[in-house]
């Protein structure tokens, strides 16, 4: 008898059962000085890569603002996708910033205006090899916008991955069961998208695989995996003085638990003090 049969069977059974679940509910958006912008290539990317924003929201009291850069190539679906996106963001307690009434794709000039308005504490955007053409386009639009900002502008610049994994992530961020469940639930509110492909139900498996990849990509070749079940990988840098700079040497694991995310001297990102910021475990 294969001792892993029940393990695999219960995964398949759980997915089959989860296909019948429905989600509702909203959380209040709280205005905070620490504003975090998610430049999302499509509606649903904010949920899929949203673990670190979720943790910044709950652990550092950051306000999460999603910026949908596109609403997909199917023009007939764009209004529906906006409604789904509003539902997903409301479920997480995130603001959804839509600046184009016609829901056309945003450009780097739009990104410049948003950065100037919000002066964000951190921004999230795809890395340059995230395979999907829209993801890659968003990366280049955000980078072009950053290069057009005044030299005094600074922020945490955090790259994400989904379709194509990063070769050099530097942050392996743990998720607990409740956090993963919230992200799955929010993703499920992109209802028509998950009807054609139930990728919300494979999100936990993707996050399990991130633990395997992150063990060595972040921790170092040959290193043991951290004692995570789920995680998401990121590349965290600062944008300062017109360029991307490392925020720390090597890679870091960010475990769950109060105080595990710490950014030293937030005033640095408001240009009040020129010191070296650090994100680390405590």
pLDDT in tens, 253-275: 889 976 777 653 343 333 333 33
Residue 205, H or E segment: helix 203-217
Tell me how far CA of residue 70 lies from CA of 44, 50, 74, 99, 164, in angstroms: 11, 17, 11, 11, 19
User: Measured between alpha carbons, how far is 69 from 4 in angstroms, rounded to an integer?
Assistant: 43
pLDDT digits (tens, 9 = 90+) for 84-111: 999 999 999 999 999 988 899 999 999 9
Backbone torsions φ then ψ of 254, nearest 5 degrees: -115, 100
Give 113-158 pLDDT, tens digit per residue.
999 999 999 999 999 999 999 999 999 999 999 999 999 999 999 9
Helix 203-217 to helix 177-188 angle, to the nearest 10 degrees? 130
Domain residue limits, the chain: 27-280
27-280 in CATH: which number?
A: 3.40.50.10320
Report how far residue 87's alpha carbon sits from residue 84's, in angstroms, rounded to the nearest whole number: 5
Phi, psi of 124 (to 5 degrees): -120, 140
> Nearest Cα to 138, choosing from 123, 118, 117, 116?
123
Q: Which residues of 121-143 are buried (b: 16+ CB within 10 A; e: fewer)?
A: bbbbbbbeebeeebbbbbbebbb
Tokens 């638990």 identify what position? 257
Give the pTM: 0.92
In tens, the pLDDT along 6-32 reads 999 999 999 999 999 999 999 999 888
- 175: Cβ contacts below 8 Å, ≥ 6 apart: 51, 183, 207, 228, 230, 231, 232, 256
């Amino acid at each position: 008898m294969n001792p892993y049969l029940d393990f695999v069977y219960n995964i398949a059974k759980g997915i089959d059962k989860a296909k019948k679940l429905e989600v509702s509910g909203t959380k209040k958006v709280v205005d905070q000085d620490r504003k975090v912008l998610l430049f999302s290539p499509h509606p649903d990317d904010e949920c899929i890569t949203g673990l670190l924003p979720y943790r910044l929201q709950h652990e550092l009291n950051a306000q999460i603002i999603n910026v949908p850069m596109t609403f997909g190539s199917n023009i007939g679906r764009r209004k529906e996708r906006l409604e789904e996106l509003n539902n997903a963001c409301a479920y997480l307690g995130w603001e959804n910033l839509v600046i184009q009434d016609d829901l056309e794709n945003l450009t780097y000039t739009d990104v410049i205006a948003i950065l100037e308005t919000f002066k964000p504490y951190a921004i999230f955007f795809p890395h340059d090899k995230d395979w999907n053409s829209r993801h890659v386009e968003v990366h280049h639009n955000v980078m072009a916008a950053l290069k057009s900002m005044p030299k005094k502008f600074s922020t945490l610049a955090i790259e994400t991955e989904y379709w194509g994994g990063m070769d050099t992530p530097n942050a392996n961020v743990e998720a607990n069961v409740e956090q993963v469940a919230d992200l799955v639930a929010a993703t499920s509110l992109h209802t028509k998208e998950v009807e054609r492909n139930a990728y919300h139900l494979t999100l936990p498996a993707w996050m399990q695989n991130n633990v395997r990849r992150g063990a060595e990509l972040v921790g170092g070749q040959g290193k043991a995996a951290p004692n995570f079940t789920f995680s998401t990988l990121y590349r965290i840098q600062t944008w300062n003085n017109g360029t991307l700079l490392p925020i720390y040497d090597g890679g870091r694991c960010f475990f769950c638990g109060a105080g595990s995310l710490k950014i030293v001297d937030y005033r640095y990102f408001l240009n009040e003090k020129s010191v070296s910021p650090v994100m680390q475990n405590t």
